[in-house]
A and B are shown apart, each in its own frame.
Chain A
Amino acid sequence: MALLEVDQLRVEFLTRNGTLTAVDDVSLKIEEGEVLGVVGESGAGKSMTGNAIIGLLEPPGRIAGGEIRLDGQRIDNLPYEKMRKIRGAEIGAIFQDPLTSLNPLYSVGQQLVETIRTHSDVGLAAARSRALELLNEVGIPAASQRIDHFPHQFSGGMRQRVVIALALSANPRLIIADEPTTALDVSIQAQIIALLKRLCRDHGTAVMLVTHDMGVIAETADRVAVMYAGRIAEIGPVADVIKHAKHPYTDGLMGSIPVVGQQTERLAQIEGAMPRLTAIPDGCAFNPRCPKAFDKCRQTRPDPIASGAGEVACWLIEQEAHHG
Chain B
Amino acid sequence: MAKQSPTADPILQVQNLSRVFDVSPPWLNRVIEGQPRQLLKAVDGIDFSVKSGETFSLVGESGCGKSTVARLVVGLYGPSTGQIIFEGDDIGGLSRREMAPIRRRIQMIFQDPYASLNPRWRVKDIIAEPIRAFHLAHGGAAITARVTELLEQVKLTADDGQKYPHEFSGGQRQRISIARALASEPDFLVCDEPTSALDVSVQAQILNLMKNLQRELGLTYLFISHNLAVVYYISDRLAVMYLGRLVEVGPARDIFKNPQHPYTRMLLDTIPDLEMSGRERLPVAGEVPNPINPPSGCSFHPRCPFANARCRSEAPQPRMVGSTAIACHGVEENRIIEAAPVANGR
Chain A residues engaging chain B, CB cutoff 8 angstroms: 41-42, 141, 155-158, 185-191, 193-194, 212-216, 218-219, 238-239, 242-243, 252-253, 255-261, 264-270, 273
Contact = CB atoms under 8 A, between A and B. Distances in A.
B283 A215 contact: no
B226 interface: yes
B171 A273 contact: yes
Contacts of A243: 276
Contacts of B268: 260
Contacts of A265: 211
Interface in B272-303: 272-276, 280-284, 286-288
Given A185-B62, A213-B272, A267-B233, A260 B207 contact: no
Consensus secondary structure, chain B interface: loop
A273 B172 CA distance: 9
B273 A266 contact: no
Given A185-B61, A187-B266, 16 more contacts: A157-B287, A186-B227, A186-B228, A186-B271, A187-B267, A194-B281, A212-B199, A218-B274, A219-B276, A258-B207, A258-B232, A259-B275, A260-B232, A267-B208, A269-B205, A269-B208
Contacts, number: 127
A16 B232 CA distance: 46
B200 A256 contact: yes
Contacts of A268: 204
Contacts of B266: 187
Contact of B270 (A156, A189, A218): A189
B287 A260 contact: no
23 contacts: A41-B199, A41-B202, A42-B199, A155-B288, A157-B287, A185-B62, A185-B226, A186-B270, A191-B283, A194-B283, A214-B272, A215-B274, A218-B275, A242-B274, A258-B232, A258-B233, A260-B228, A260-B343, A261-B342, A267-B207, A269-B201, A269-B204, A273-B202
A224 to B, nearest CB: 12
Nearest to A216: B272
Interface residues of B, number: 47
B114 interface: no
A253 B205 CA distance: 12
B287 A253 contact: no
Interface in B222-246: 226-230, 232-233
Interface of B: 61-62, 169-172, 199-205, 207-208, 211, 226-230, 232-233, 256, 266-268, 270-276, 280-284, 286-288, 342-346
Contacts of B286: 141
Contacts of A258: 204, 207, 229-230, 232-233
Given A258-B232, A261-B256, A269-B208, A190 B284 contact: yes
Pairs of residues from A and B, 6 with the lowest C-beta to C-beta distance, nearest first: A215-B272, A256-B204, A258-B233, A267-B204, A261-B343, A190-B281
B201 A41 contact: yes
A187 B232 contact: no
A240 B200 CA distance: 20
Contact of A261 (B61, B171, B288, B346): B346
